[in-house]
Structure 1
């Protein structure tokens, strides 16, 4: 392997890039995406890996962090021939990151952009490989959600699907309305574009789009603004006029608008074999020669750093085997578990705390090392061989020598006088505290308990005051529910949204699908589709027999994120549960307005801060 990297593929680190992340010394920049920046680095054994550092905007979102941790744990279970396995991660640091195996090959998007459409055999082998990857991914309980040409890499022995499931971590977080783009509209399924239910069939639709893209060199639903592409995906048929006739059965079935009508992964693989004029076998020649040349170019990697940073020289204390209290690091871009440059050993297993190297007492005499299994002895991650147990006498602590047994110790004499004195002082203190809590006999205590005590009864008992405050005598009682705030006749114009935190809640212009509103009114002006939706929580549509109340909204679990107008009639109630912790009962009053612009009217009863917020405001 030559040491001369391609300048176009491996960009040098810039001023704002970290030098080390999670113990890995970064070598180059591989690319930048909607969720983060990807770097080239190496394992302790010199294997190249791709390390994605999540953008700070996502790192600051608590809901994203929770979902990212869950999705990474799921992704670590995916081990397939056509996937890039997750090697290491840190989901709890100040800036989360994820490391996967490095695939020396261009993305499908890059290959098509540089060399045009692929031949039929390459498209069929691509489809079979992606179908096998999805089979493993779905088997781990993951829906990819962002299957697109940029997430399909073309290796010498077949495709590799990357970033599976990670896009889910960004769904419905506080960032959806801030202009941060995660998904790719051109390759979304109709149910995904219209905020419907996402399922494994969503990835089947994306697979059909990838096959069409590889065969014709452009998206089947065209290009343009996000809203225009999403509209065509939901309401129009794709342009398959340039798709080879042999591929039409595969692509057409995958792009069925109804998820239930799409083929299974097994059917896709069988269909590809039926289409192919020759038996499909994955090999080195599955790609055109021009695309295969891009793989060779990506094998010319920058060399890793030759000289690791020195180990810290901290002399062990007599209690060297006791767990040390972690010190709070200064706020940096590195995670608490993974220190900044100069305090790491990039050639040690990553993702785990490193014990400080003890100072040698004399040249050639190694200091003691914690025994295996001890909390200070790091455990290597999966994929690294476990170090053998040291032989006795080699880097092991000296044996512990106990003093001879001398029989039971004589009990110490009790200091009876001090104990009696302490007891007397304690009794005096307790009597003083009790006396301070007793009524002073002035009649004020009786007056506060009287029904005519000037309104102080509600304050002392907390029974229905609803102000969220408790008196000193009620400090141990449950905090009362917040007072409801009622608003009559709120008119929400089409494609406007409402936030429950507003007092009064005023409709605001925005994007009702991705705008983060607690309650919004969406109208498709061409086809007339209308619904009430939320992008910042969930709804509960109440039955006619149910009376909307705070208790009902807390106990019911028939959640939805969208209610169509044909489900509503005048007087229908539904609960709005916002991620910010506000709860409201919305009463639908009706629809009004002219043909050019309509609005819906609600009465709202809002209990603000009724629950703990799920996300940072």
Structure 2
């Protein structure tokens, strides 16, 4: 977490702002405190986007959709202003380290942990898709690990940002790619993007969790984006029991990828207090015990901004 800058507000709505968590293409993300001192996450939309009537309308629709989420593996909307001069929304704060930080520090996750990760993330994605949202930016830094399972703090709200357009069906086109190795072929090709793009990103995230690297990190020809679009994933170090499932998520044609519900069924992982190895679980528990300590960015990475 970084301290507030002079240009940052001291509060938004009923929430006192404590520090910056990060900044994305559409919003600045803060750690805030509710009136009862409960930690929350507050995302304040860029002022120029708030002056765009089409953006404001879509933002309101997306917040309304997010309010219908069942809360299975995702943060929950607590409050929002979708009509005022400054657009913002607040969500529950999910304390814990990121998947990226955990794997860098403790190494790849074992098979049982991978199954829980796959099942919980797929459940969260299925919930987003069911209410008409797409995550759009799933990568190891956007997944938080808790004592009883992983979480997706980002809800896919307002991710079709500057430099992108939105179709009548709400499909994001031309999304800014922060981590091309974890994006789908349709994203890196600047093609229309549907919910199946999240499933492709899930396959890449699971590969990272299983091996410590993305499926397209290695290769002597072309850029990472080129390998995502045209190359075969490197899955040789993925446990054999999950290789077929992950390979199915990484199929180039979005029409042939499994639905999140199918991933949940095949993964068959049950979240619970023993979902992580003991040493890793103890470290995660220490991080979760202090909700005012957000995940620290790894060297060379961007600050946490789900």
TM-score, length of structure 1 as denominator length: 0.42
User: Which residue in 2 is equivalent to 1:14?
Assistant: 5
Q: Shift in Å at residue 84 of structure 1?
A: 0.5
C-alpha distance in 1 between matches for 2:82 and 2:218: 35
- 1:284 and 2:273 aligned: yes
Structure 1 counterpart of 2:259: 264
CA contact (8 A) 1:115 1:291 kept: no
Question: Which residue, 179, 188, 205 being the options, matches 1:184?
Answer: 179
Q: Which has the higher contact order (CA 8 A, sep 6+)?
A: 2
CA apart distance, 1:51: 0.8
Q: Does 1:161 find its partner at 2:156?
A: no
For 1:274-353, list aligned pairs within 5 A: 280-288=269-277, 289-290=279-280, 292-301=282-291
More helix by share: 2
CA–CA distance in structure 2, aligned partners of residues 214 and 299 of structure 1: 23
The alpha-carbon distance between structure 1 residues 119 and 72, as it changes in their structure 2 partners (threshold 3 A), is same
Q: 3-state SS of the aligned residue for 1:28? A: strand
The match for 2:301 is none
Aligned to 2:27: 36
Conservation of the 8 A alpha-carbon contact between 1:65 and 1:169 = no
Q: Distance in 2 between matches of 1:173 and 1:195?
A: 9
1:172 shift after superposition:
5.2
Q: How does 1:95-134 map to 2 (within 5 A)?
A: 95-134=86-125
Q: Give, in whole Å, the separation in 1 of the partners of 2:109 and 2:201.
A: 18
Verify the 8 A CA contact 2:177 2:183 in the aligned structure 1: no
Match of 2:300 in 1: none
Q: Is the 8 A contact 2:14 2:34 kept in 1?
A: no
Q: CA RMSD in A?
A: 2.6
Shift of 1:292: 4.2
CA distance in structure 1 between the partners assigned to 2:85 and 2:178 by the alignment: 24
Partners of 2:39 and 2:93 within 8 A in 1: yes
The answer to whether the 8 A contact 2:216-2:228 is kept is: yes
Q: Supply the distance in 1 between the matched residues of 2:196 and 2:58 (Cα, whole angstroms).
A: 21
Structure 2 residue aligned with 1:330: none
Q: What secondary structure is seen at the aligned counterpart in 2 of 1:70?
A: helix
Q: Deviations over 1:365-402 (max 9, x none)?
A: xxxxxxxxxxxxxxxxxxxxxxxxxxxxxxxxxxxxxx
SS of corresponding position for 2:22: strand
What is the aligned partner in structure 2 of residue 84 from structure 1?
Answer: 75
Could you report, residue by residue, the CA deviation over 1:8-61 in whole angstroms, capped at 9, with x for unpaired residues?
A: xx4432333221112311123333334333222222333221111223454454
Inter-CA distance 292–210: structure 2 relative to 1 (3 Å threshold): farther
SS in 1 for 2:223: helix
Name which of structure 1's ranges 182-191 and 17-26 shifts more when overlaid on structure 2: 182-191
Which residues of 2 match residues 196-595 of structure 1 at below 5 A?
196-222=191-217, 228-273=223-268, 280-288=269-277, 289-290=279-280, 292-301=282-291
Alpha-carbon distance in 2 for matches of 1:13, 1:193: 34
- Other structure's SS at 1:231 match: helix
Deviation at 1:295, TM superposition (A): 4.0
- In the alignment, which residue of structure 1 is the partner of 2:127? 136
Gaps of 5+ in 1: 1-9, 175-179, 274-279, 304-617
Partner of 1:461: none
Equivalent position of 2:168 in the other structure = none
Q: Residues 139 and 30 of structure 1: is their aligned pair in 2 closer, same or farther, counting only changes over 3 Å?
A: same
Q: Do the aligned residues in 2 keep the contact of 1:167 with 1:182 (CA within 8 Å)?
A: no
CA distance in 2, matches of 1:58, 1:210: 30
* Residue ranges of structure 2 left out of the alignment (5+ in a row): 166-174, 294-306
Deviations 1:181-231 (A, max 9, x none): 46532211112222323222221111111111111111111189xx92222
Larger radius of gyration: 1
Number of residues of Structure 1 aligned to a counterpart in Structure 2: 281
> Taking structure 1 as reference, are residues 128 and 60 closer, same or farther at Cα in structure 2, changes over 3 Å only?
same
- Find the aligned partners of 2:247 and 2:154 in 1 and give their Cα distance: 26
Match of 1:145 in 2: 136
